[in-house]
Structure 1
Amino acid sequence: MVDTRLDKMHAIAKRFNDNGTIDQLTMRKIDALAMSAKNEEMTAARIKSIRQREHISQGVLATVLNMSSESVKKWEQGKTQPQGAALRLLNVIDKKGIEAVI
């Protein structure tokens, strides 16, 4: 849902750029922001790798993400995938470290 809203806002900005309301430099910045805001999918191995790199347990990661330990366990086993806010936070942790979200 967030991606849909982001796509709509990006399309509006593109129309403004097409009619000259937004200059090229601003449009390039908006393009970059829109691309960076999209969540990258998380594989089971990647989630486990992030957790191990940060030296935290499944329980600690679950607490940071406001999820259950069982959810994190299922993600790492590849049974389910993180969605929404949990996926966004995992992307932040992956790029900036656990300190960025605690």
Structure 2
Amino acid sequence: MTTKKKVSPLTKVLLETAGDMRGSGLMDEASYDKITVRHLGETDLPALQPISGAQIKAMRERARLSQAVFARYLNLTVGYVSQLERGAKQPTGAALALLNLIERKGIDAIR
């Protein structure tokens, strides 16, 4: 059985302050990105959404990439990307996480 670590009120205030500092330009992106899951807690991580084959194909086409180049960026095989786009397979694990990232921030997030 795993126990969920509760984020202290002090940590919550510090995280809010760090977010405000980042928003106002007092803290750079690299420093803010060093805040870890230990600080945030599991519930603050973005939830992975299922992605359909049509969405994957649309992402790839928006980026103007061939299946081969898209597969290379994701460290997948061309055949697997093809199966994902046709809906023969559903992405899971790291592939799903990368696809969610691309969906949210665009292909430049992983280039």
- The yes-or-no answer on 1:23 pairing with 2:9 is yes
Q: Distance in 2 between matches of 1:73 and 1:91?
A: 18
The superposition leaves residues 28-63 of structure 1 with CA deviations (integer Å, 9 ceiling, x where unpaired) of 9747x7354321111111111111111111111100
What residue number does 1:65 align with?
74
| Amino acid corresponding to residue 9 of structure 2 in structure 1 | D
What residue number does 2:37 align with?
none
Which structure carries more helix by proportion? Answer: 1
What SS does the aligned partner of 1:80 have?
Answer: coil
Which runs of 5 or more structure 2 residues have no equivalent in the other structure? 17-39
What residue number does 2:32 align with?
none
What residue number does 1:12 align with?
5
| Amino acid corresponding to residue 57 of structure 1 in structure 2 | S
What residue number does 1:79 align with?
88
Q: Distance in 1 between matches of 2:45 and 2:5?
A: 18
What SS does the aligned partner of 2:5 have?
Answer: helix
- Give TM-score scaled by structure 1 length: 0.70
- Give TM-score scaled by structure 2 length: 0.65
Which runs of 5 or more structure 1 residues have no equivalent in the other structure? 1-7
Please provide the CA RMSD for this pair: 2.6
Percent same amino acid at aligned positions?
A: 33
The superposition leaves residues 51-99 of structure 1 with CA deviations (integer Å, 9 ceiling, x where unpaired) of 1111111111100010000000000110001111111111111111111
Q: Distance in 1 between matches of 2:96 and 2:81?
A: 11
Describe the shift of the 1:35–1:47 C-alpha distance in structure 2 as closer, same or farther (beyond 3 A). Answer: farther
